[in-house]
Amino acid sequence: MGVEVKVMKRFNNILSVINDKNPNKELILKSIEIAKSNQAKLTFISIVPIISAGIGMPPGGPISKDLQQHILSDSLSALHKTLSAYDGCYNFEVIVLAGDHCNEIIKRVITEKHDLLISLPFKKNILDHIFTSKDMHLFRKCPCPIMFVNDVEKLTFKRIIAAVDFDRFKDTHNDILSDEITSLASQIALMNFAHLHIVNIYNPRYFRIASNWADQPEKLEREMKDYEYKYAKQRMEELMERLKTNIGEEMYNQISIQTHLIFGSAEEQLPLFATKNHCDLLVMGTVARTGISGLLIGNTAEDILSQLKCSVLAIKPKGFVSPITIN
């Protein structure tokens, strides 16, 4: 007899970005799968550029307006035709908007209160980096969690990494974000029968400075490194106890979970760990105050993302407000 899989319903209103010219069938199926598992509302969105005024075509004039409306109608018709093949799979809405790709998506998320955005990376750049400046724009400013699916041919994630941070000052907001990361990663792992790695990368950056003033610098470095490891170990144990409480012991026991404490820098060790363990999905926080979950606030975040080859689910901390405004 098989084990019954009980999954928490985390998302209620999902927005999936598709290309009106070449909709990706695997991404459509992935979006439907996630919406089904959460019994969530699903909307597919495509963005077309605003038509610029040409010779004899003033901005906002009747000709440019008619042409813009024609492009919107054609795009919507094409998407309806493609998505009609999935009408029996799940109920969903299809919309096409004109404007800047990133800003229109973020505005839609804000106005319609979407709680998950699913997208392919915009396109690979010449260095074969997955994430481009447009993707980073969404990472930084979209208020809801974002799932960038890199290898859409893999409809299931078999190896998932949840990257967590243990703030030295035990910041409550940081703990809440770590709890959200591990709970959500656990849900996805259960849905996909995947192995879950929960990773903390600790690096007391101050210890090398302190050792410069010590009589026995190597001994001091060893002692401080050992102290930081014990601290991280204690915090990981506390996190796992909270995870068991948050998702329930029954669900907790159904997931294959392995914890890791790694010494080093996040920008080096996290991509390396993801590659070595053939990670399909990395779940991590964004725009936090410190550490590895302080992603997208500087060069560390850019360095991590530029090295990743896997899909990413990025979660905003509680209280995050997007800088994009609705006019």
Neighbouring C-alpha atoms within 13 Å toward the C-beta of 168: 10
**162 and 300 assigned to the same domain:** yes
Judge if 162 and 254 occupy the same domain: yes
Indicate whether 113 and 158 sit together in one domain: no
Q: How many domains does the chain have?
A: 2
Query: CB under 8 Å, gap of 24 or more: what pairs does 231-237 form?
Result: 231/166, 231/202, 232/166, 232/200, 232/202, 232/261, 233/261, 235/166, 235/200, 236/166, 236/198, 236/200, 236/261
Please report the pLDDT score of residue 135 as a whole number: 83
**Measured CA distances, 24 to 119, 127, 136, 313 (Å):** 10, 23, 21, 19
What letter does residue 51 receive in the DSSP assignment? P
Instruction: Give residue 89's pLDDT.
Output: 86
Q: Is residue 286 part of a domain?
A: yes
**Residue 15's pLDDT is what?**
98
Same structural domain, 183 and 291: yes
Q: Is position 86 within any domain?
A: yes
Q: Looking at the domain assignment, is residue 54 inside a domain?
A: yes
The predicted structure's pLDDT at residue 147:
93
| Residue 180 identity (one-letter amino acid) | E
Residues 59 and 158 reside in one and the same domain:
no
Low-confidence ranges of the chain (pLDDT < 50): 1-5, 55, 126, 288-298
Instruction: Let me know if residue 108 belongs to a domain.
Output: yes
One domain for residues 42 and 91 = yes
- How high is the pLDDT of residue 56? 52
CATH code, domain carrying 230: 3.40.50.620
Confirm whether 143 is domain-assigned: no
CA distance 147 to 150: 9
Q: pLDDT of 153-166, one tens digit each?
A: 666 789 999 999 88
> Is residue 290 located within the same domain as residue 216?
yes
Chain-centre distance for alpha carbon 175 = 18
Structure tokens at 183: 């709970």
Is residue 9 domain-resident?
yes
Please tell me the predicted confidence (pLDDT) of residue 295.
41
Give the pLDDT of residue 213. 62
Task: Dig out the tokens for 202 from the structure.
Answer: 């600790």
The domain in which residue 193 lies consists of 152-327
| 207 belongs to a structural domain | yes
Residue 313, domain member (yes or no): yes
Q: Are residues 39 and 108 in the same domain?
A: yes
* 68 and 199 inside one domain: no
Query: Do 211 and 294 lie in a common domain?
Result: yes
Last residue of a domain, one of 100, 119, 138: 119
Contact by Cβ (8 Å): 234, 200: no
